[in-house]
Amino acid sequence: MKNKDMPQGCTNLKLRQLGRVVTRHYDSFVSEVGLKNTQYALLSYVVKLGPIRPVDLAKRMQMDASTLTRNLQLLQELGWLTVGAGENARSRLVEATPAGHTKRAEGQRAWKAAQSALNKQLGVERVAALHELLDSCLEYFEGADRHEATS
């Protein structure tokens, strides 16, 4: 007999499925202003935190350095970000250009519409509960990573 309290199926698969559906939802809104969800997120982090070193940006976004570099290059080519000299010859700083600030503002309006639609579709209580669960899981994994690093 199956235990009703035991998770059924693969958690990774379920999270990836949900992630793809939610990404498509947000992309359908931010694409109206010429952005992908990943581009909007990166632009938002840089506007909020910049100028910032790429290594610090990758850490804050929980993204590996090679993925960040590819994404930065495209936003640089579009004229929305610059990567310039940092504190020394080996360091770099990422900063949003005026065009990047404008594009981020356009994206933010689209993102707010996407968030509002998601809240309406799923219900505010369910979305708030999902955020709480996701935040607690991220905190757990971050704590576990720190513990493993010191062991």
Q: Give yes or no for residue 149 having a pLDDT over 70.
A: no
What pLDDT score was predicted for residue 150?
A: 46
The CA–CA distances, whole Å, from 65 to 16, 68, 73, 106 equal 21, 5, 12, 27
12-31, pLDDT tens digit by residue? 999 999 999 999 999 999 99
82-117, pLDDT tens digit by residue? 998 878 878 899 999 999 999 999 999 999 999 999
113-140, pLDDT tens digit by residue? 999 999 999 999 999 999 999 999 988 8
Handedness of CA 80, 86, 89, 92 (dihedral sign): negative
| Dihedral class, residue 7 (left if φ above 0, else alpha if ψ from -120 to 50, else beta) | beta
